[in-house]
Structures are given as C-alpha cells and as structure tokens.
Structure 1
C-alpha cells in the first residue's frame, strides 16, 4: 500500500502481519478514547479493525506509522522530540510520540523548541490511534492536533 503526503513524497506502508506480542497472553479490548478533565483526545479513524476471532489486527507496523508521522510533522513545522510507550499492561505494543514546534536552530546547532507538546499514540494490537492535547497547552498545540488528525486520516485512507 503506498501513501503520499502533501509534499508528494511517497512513504511505503506495509500491513504488518507480525505485530509485537506480549510475553503473556493478553486479552485485547478495543480502546475507548475519551476526554478527561485535563486532556482532550482526538481519535484517528483507522482503515482497519481488530479481528475479534484471533485478537490480532491487520495494522500498519509502529515503524511504518512513525515514518508517516515524521513526514507529516515536518510538513507542519513540527519535529518529533521524544518516542516512548504508554502503560504496557493497558496498551501492549503501543508507540507514543511527542511533537514540538520547530523554531529553527540556535547558534550551537541545537533545535529551538517552542512551548507546548502534542502527543500521538498508536496501538496496533488494539487498532487505535489518538492525539492527546492538554487543555493548558498553547493554542498551536490544539490547531496542530486537529490538522495532524486530518492529515493522518487522509494519508491512511488514500
């Protein structure tokens, strides 16, 4: 499956049949993405679903999704500042990224980061992806979150 970004760069996404498996059997439940008192969460519609008979997903690998996010974020003037995982028991095999505003380079060659952080989580085993924005974050985070959601959905549906 080939996807194209707004800059007409091709990013190859391949459906991953071998999703990272936890060491112990885990019953995968569909993620429920909802807002909290401190955070607004935007669910990204994915073009695949959880196979309830086998608890496996026909999903893109976390690495392929990361490649898409890197390209889209660069086009949006953001950069990936941190890669981690959320709770391994609740979301086994997930990947979580932090994005910051790219304000250029300082005199020492380091990245100048703007205030605020946009969080994106992808959980292939649960067929879920969402963007988290804390209410206290600067306005750019909320605008970028809505734009990132639209761009990711467009690329994945293409």
Structure 2
C-alpha cells in the first residue's frame, strides 16, 4: 500500500449498482482478467460500499429523475421554449399517441412554458436536440467533476 493510500481518510460510497456490491464482496475469483483489474482498481479507493436504491440516489440519476427540476442549471429555458415551438420533432410528439403523458407546463418561475412529461406528477422537460448536450453537460457536471480538480 502506498503512503498516500495509507493516510487517506475512510469514507463510505453509496451506489445504485447492486452487482458491483456483490462483485466487490465476492471472495472467489471467477472473473475475467479485465474484471479483476477493474475491481482491484475500484477497491483501492473505497473503504465501505453500500447499496442505495436508484430512486433514492438523486445525485447519480439527476438527469432522469424529477429532482432535476429543483436544480438551477444556468440554461435559458425561455430559449428552449422558443425552440420547442418550432422544432419538428416536438410537433410530432404533440400529435402522436405515445406512452408519455405530455402537457405544457410552466417552468422557471412561470416564465417559460415547456412541453413536459407529467406522468410522475413532476414535469420532466422535453429537450430539443439542439439543447441536449448543454443540458446533459450541466447536469452531469453536478456530480462528475472530472479530473480538473
């Protein structure tokens, strides 16, 4: 063990990937060489790993969960609303029958009206293709800060 690893503070990691918990805890080695290397690398950084259900792991699944509504992303939702009005894909969503429960909903202090999936009771915005990368990067960056730190 390196000196930096021995002086590291213990911490608990919460994951919603139950197979990872079983893989880390498994004592026999039926894994491929690649899986063994990956599990060995992961185990160097954690002292305790606990399972948390996906619905309770709001940071990890922020993009697909309603909790994203409460996060200020620095995205101009009025511009997204304007793009929704002219986007051909959004117009198709408005006309075809799907498994989604789509409705216009007020967003961003009632100044933007966006087409949303309202199935869960919390409006989940429909993002046009031109905005997907920016919205994804904004949400992804909340919990995955990358190597720049």
**TM-score above 0.5, yes or no:** no
TM-score normalised per structure 2: 0.30
RCO greater where, 1 or 2, for CA within 8 Å and sep 6 or more? 1
